[in-house]
Structure 1
């Protein structure tokens, strides 16, 4: 079966000479073109407008008879090596610096980051610069720009005892636990470009509450509206007649003014660093840990509470536990563990390690 594949084109703006040479050698292995014609065909395919003027140099310095020999392509490649190939030491340094300086971009997905990192490493590996697998794994995690918690989660999917495969495990674990750039990352990346005015926030907060939380209004015939069976009443509705139909519309404006945080130096609205609210700061946040401590009785004693309102053990649930299969590990307190082990038979105790 005849194999007809066009030879690769050289374009210094799109690919390096090293890559072009590899493609050229691959083409040489599979082409059906006669060896006496290969050198001439490749010489004619060289660009005329390249800064190196490589095509002009080839036809000026290599005779057509040499290009027409069985070794014509080899002669041509040797000539191009002298004029286009980089100094091996300089090329190695450039590839090493390109690998060392690479870090994950702000909007780059984990998938793309891992593939780019690996591709840059393979280039220096071809230059006989091979790094230990564990060093590569740690470089991969360090430059991924993930949080400390996310980094620890990725480490749970790696087996440090098997160091030769640690780099491959790091790539798999990073893709598994981080994967593609999640929606929350995309939202966080775009939130800085959105400017929320206090009036807009307040208006839409009330509208959202009314739309999602309130029940339909019921007129009680006294100028008030009740909401369902509750005791909430809302005044300020206007009654109008049109076409024999009674219409009720909200009139006036609310006299209740909720506080809104001031703007920062950059003109954006300040938010609570604990819960993200634009109504208060962390000092008065009801959800902050410091304020919750004032309302919660914290004890150093270990107790097991199996349902809300119970104090101490619920004896129907002793030695029972809930295992979350989505967690990387499951832990328990010493008190529970001692109680559980004491309840086992001698045979079962021997299986515990």
Structure 2
């Protein structure tokens, strides 16, 4: 993604509000715009519920040294109250994730990693063994393939990265 010091980052996904908020704080430090114009630029970059919400603010409030703070406070009230719902949504996405028929395991593991990354962005994590078991279950392996993966493993650990690790065992069982 290209970064512009003149135009603020877009809020493309309300579920990623906290990440966007941090990006705005960084952008403000890098921006060539004066403090009095930064909030105006942020407002114009918004759409949907965020734009409607910040439209309730007076232009004079935006065109002040504290304009960015005013916008962020307004948007915090709109989006941070939804944190529990956002957490449930990413949990549900991870919990219900299943490898589609015909999709290679290696490709699916990449999708699992991405989904888990979204899960962790909501300040949640799973114990290592639970994460490994979720991956195993979501790969939709046969019972025999699952037993093959689990065989000769003294400890199930998701973060192993050797020839005998969990990922390789799953991949090998599906060949």
* TM-score bin (small chain): 0.7 to 0.9
**Alpha-carbon deviation of 1:39?**
0.7
Show the counterpart of 2:171: 178
Show the counterpart of 1:22: 19
- Cα deviation code 1:251-299 (max 9, x no counterpart): xxxxxxxxxxxxxxxxxxxxxxxxxxxxxxxxxxxxxxxxxxxxxxxxx
- 1:95-244 to structure 2, matched below 5 A, reads 95-155=90-150, 158-160=153-155, 166-169=157-160, 173-175=166-168, 178=171
Aligned residue pairs, count: 166
- CA distance in 2: counterparts of 1:107 and 1:154, whole angstroms: 19
Pairwise CA RMSD: 3.2
- CA distance in 2: counterparts of 1:123 and 1:145, whole angstroms: 21
State TM-score, norm by structure 2: 0.73
In structure 2, list runs of 5 or more residues that go unmatched.
Answer: none
Show the counterpart of 2:41: 41
Structure with bigger strand share is: 1
Residues 1:117 and 1:170: Cα distance change in structure 2 (over 3 Å): farther
Residues 1:56 and 1:127: Cα distance change in structure 2 (over 3 Å): closer
Contact 1:9 1:45 in 2 (8 A): yes
In structure 1, list runs of 5 or more residues that go unmatched.
Answer: 183-353
Q: Higher relative contact order at CA 8 Å, sep ≥6: structure 1 or structure 2?
A: 2
**Alpha-carbon deviation of 1:158?**
4.8
- Asked which structure has the greater CA Rg, the reply is 1
For 2:85, which of 54, 76, 90 is the aligned residue? 90
- 1:231-310 to structure 2, matched below 5 A, reads none
2:25 is the alignment partner of 1:32:
no
**Alpha-carbon deviation of 1:79?**
0.9
Show the counterpart of 1:7: 8
2:48 is the alignment partner of 1:55:
no
**Alpha-carbon deviation of 1:24?**
4.5
State TM-score, norm by structure 1: 0.40
Contact 2:108 2:139 in 1 (8 A): yes
Q: Give 3-state SS (helix, strand or coil) of 2:159's partner.
A: helix
2:61 is the alignment partner of 1:66:
yes
Structure with bigger helix share is: 2
